[in-house]
Amino acid sequence: MWRRNCRAGYDCCRTPRRWSFRARWRPPSGGARTSLAVRCEGPAEVDALFAELVEAGVRAELRPWDAVWGQRYAVVLDPDGNRVDLFAPLPAHGR
């Protein structure tokens, strides 16, 4: 399941409020306030990795979809409830 390339990024809480695809998003309270984003090789890998993780018992938060910002996107939750975002650029956006 591990991929050979890894990137890390940081966003403040203002980013999800401004760009959230979840209309009722609120910052987490209490413990888990972190998320991890995994860039996949392409849209098909987002779908395949999401299916593999859910089949292995990982909780699905948001099923794969084509986001308006030009990425195939999906979200699962780790055992502590932290978000793990799966994403890949859509071909038309070529990033």
Task: Give 34-95's CATH code, choosing from 3.90.220.20, 2.60.40.10, 3.10.180.10, 3.90.79.10.
Answer: 3.10.180.10
Task: Return the domain boundaries, the chain.
Answer: 34-95
d(CA 28, CA 78): 14
pTM value is 0.70
Contact in structure between 21 and 67 (CB atoms under 8 Å):
yes
CA atoms within 13 A on the CB side of 82: 11
d(CA 95, CA 7): 15
How many CB atoms are closer than 10 A to CB 7?
7
pLDDT digits (tens, 9 = 90+) for 20-77: 566 666 666 665 567 788 999 999 999 999 999 999 999 999 999 999 989 999 999 9
Look-up: residue for tokens 């996949």?
40
Query: Strand, helix or coil at 51?
Result: helix
Query: Strand, helix or coil at 59?
Result: strand
In the structure, what pLDDT confidence band is assigned to residue 18 with cuts at 50, 70 and 90?
Answer: low
In the structure, what pLDDT confidence band is assigned to residue 16 with cuts at 50, 70 and 90?
Answer: low
Give the pLDDT confidence score for residue 53 in this predicted structure: 95
Look-up: residue for tokens 């699962």?
76
